[in-house]
Structure 1
Amino acid sequence: MEVIRMGIGSIQSSPVPLSACIGYFDGLHLGHQQLVANAIAAAKDHHCQSALITFDPDPWAVLKDLQDIDHLTTMAERIELGAKLGIEKWIILEFTKELAALTPEAFLNQILIPLNLHTLVCGFDYHYGCRGQGNVDTLKKQSVFDVKVVAEVDYAGEKISSTRIEKAISEGDMVLSEKLLGRPYSLHGSVVRGNHVGTNVLGFPTANLALSDHYVIPKRGVYVGACRCNGELIKAMINIGHNPTCNHRDELSVEAHLIDFNQDLYGQTITLYFYEKLRDEVKFASADELIAQLNADRLNTKNYQRKEGMACV
């Protein structure tokens, strides 16, 4: 897949007409995937190149002068997911206050039309231009390219959205987040050295994760999941919290005990996948009580079976 960055004054016209979907696409969830699927279908029907148009940095961060906003996915992860879905060209528009100030007409004339679009696919609630004054109705008034509007995508009677997924994750509902994302939620980073309490005191060695970016973090507690390392997927018992019983720390830690695995992972890049929450974080009266609970958690993790129809990772 080709990845292109551009902005105001540097829009590159595609030599081949594009069938593109547009949005921020954090999480690239099942609602977003409907936009992608429609863009790809239109590209095949009209012999165009499929594309996805997105923005960087996060428009909300630019408009509100915010730093280090938590996201469901990094741009690199979205690009990888888009490639797997079949997108041929990934267009990143540099989002600035200058871009945000464009009127809907200016955004159309300076950004969208120069891209050489045949079809633009957007959600029913898509807005563009200064203060979101443009919408699907104003888009349809132009005649340079076709506009296809995708209806609301629901699950359990409620719209699938990045906000809904963030809420589910923050509440520890990883089963719901997976149903909305179409895959297990994951965190990506490198393994760093801890103080070895898990190994030396508790008998549960863990891989301590230094996150690669600012992610939405699941609620504090213990989760059954998996770890991808060295191309292998291994069952994992994942803990998120402050280790209140034996090793209290002020900063939130993300660590995983890999089932039946004893290789050295220090310095390696891994991905943790969250399947289901086992329990909340608890401060136990003693290390022995904690160890007994960890043994139960490990057994539950080892015996955990993915439900039929759940996504592979």
Structure 2
Amino acid sequence: MEVYKSIMKMNKTCVAFGEFDCIHKGHKAVVETVVRTAKDNSLKSVIVSIPEDGAVFTTEEEKEYLLKDADIDYLFTYTEKTEHFVEEIIIKKLGARIIVVGENHANLEQLKKTAAEYEVSVILVKDVKENDISIHKSLIKKAFEDCDYEKMTSLLGHPYIMLGEVVHGKALGRTVGMPTANLQVPDKKIKPLDGVYCTRIILDNELFLAMTNIGKRPSVDTYDYVTIEAFILDFSRDIYGKQLVLEVHKFIRGVIKFDNLEQVQAQVQKDITEVRNLLDKIS
């Protein structure tokens, strides 16, 4: 898959476009249809991601990660505002011969009309449903707010992820015998509620088990900022500056204010035991 941050002139393509926030099962059905249709018609498969304004569940880098094995030829990010987007960008610039959209696309009738004027075919993809309910962002948002990451995994077709760089923290985890990887993610990334999570880490194509604390740290400092600190189990490498993917699998507990480091250490050991037991079932 070739990835571009701007649109380039192309021809003979099969295209799908949209925000693709979350990359849920419905999006995957659209992507699979693009890939299959492109191959059947000797076209190039193209996905155009249009980033939302404000906070997002899935950053552009995470979309790239989640789509990397989808067999797409080209992934474009389009950030401009264009009045006649389908006509000017999808058809004229990208050379779409076929456009693939979900059956409940917001501007479906206008899209069909524009496509017909240029003799471009439109393929509709049926909604993917869970328990007879169409999967859409509001369902995923509800599961997220409920800290129900098993439900999110079911709706998305993959675990909720955070992709970022390991940065230097204050090394406070070492004071409780628990050195952590501090993950820096883009500001616009929607982060889980404060608490302790059962997680997995993907680093250099290797998978590791981890317990992750997200939020402020009332027992160790008084700073008013949120950190993402992953304690990778049975791990001792220097990974500062590396990119990693954090999979969130289950909410363990909320933030607790402890009176001393001995209490922190005792709770940490209980959390690690619970995380190991949960991840053994997932693995």
TM-score class, shorter-chain normalisation, is 0.7 to 0.9
> 1:123 and 2:98 equivalent?
no
Structure-1 separation of matches of 2:230 and 2:243 = 13
Identity of matched residues, %: 28
TM-score scaled by structure 2?
0.88
Counterpart of 2:9 in structure 1 is 12
TM-score scaled by structure 1?
0.80
Instruction: Give 1:237 shift.
Output: 0.4
Q: 1:90 to 1:216 in 2, by over 3 A?
A: same
> 1:111 and 2:65 equivalent?
no
Counterpart of 2:168 in structure 1 is 193
Residues 46 and 72, structure 2, Cα contact 8 Å, conserved in 1:
yes
Deviation by residue 1:93-148 (Cα, 9 ceiling, x = unmatched):
3422xx1xx2xxx44432333132221110122235xxxx9545545654611111
Gaps of 5+ in 2: none
Amino acid aligned to 1:3:
V
Structure-2 separation of matches of 1:43 and 1:298 = 47
Counterpart of 2:146 in structure 1 is 171
Residues 171 and 219, structure 1, Cα contact 8 Å, conserved in 2:
no
Q: 1:123 to 1:136 in 2, by over 3 A?
A: farther
Gaps of 5+ in 1: 62-68
Amino acid aligned to 1:183:
H
Amino acid aligned to 1:83:
K
Instruction: Give 1:255 shift.
Output: 0.3
Structure-2 separation of matches of 1:197 and 1:143 = 62
Counterpart of 2:35 in structure 1 is 40
Structure-2 separation of matches of 1:111 and 1:194 = 44
Amino acid aligned to 1:283:
K
Structure-1 separation of matches of 2:232 and 2:98 = 47
Matches within 5 A, 1:240-279: 240-279=214-253
Could you say what the CA RMSD is over the residues aligned between the two structures, in angstroms?
A: 2.5
Aligned pairs, how many? Answer: 282
**Structure 1 stretches of 4+ moved >4 Å:** 4-7, 133-137
Instruction: Give 1:236 shift.
Output: 0.3
Q: 1:140 to 1:191 in 2, by over 3 A?
A: closer
Counterpart of 2:207 in structure 1 is 233
Amino acid aligned to 1:90:
L
Structure-1 separation of matches of 2:9 and 2:46 = 13
Instruction: Give 1:222 shift.
Output: 0.7
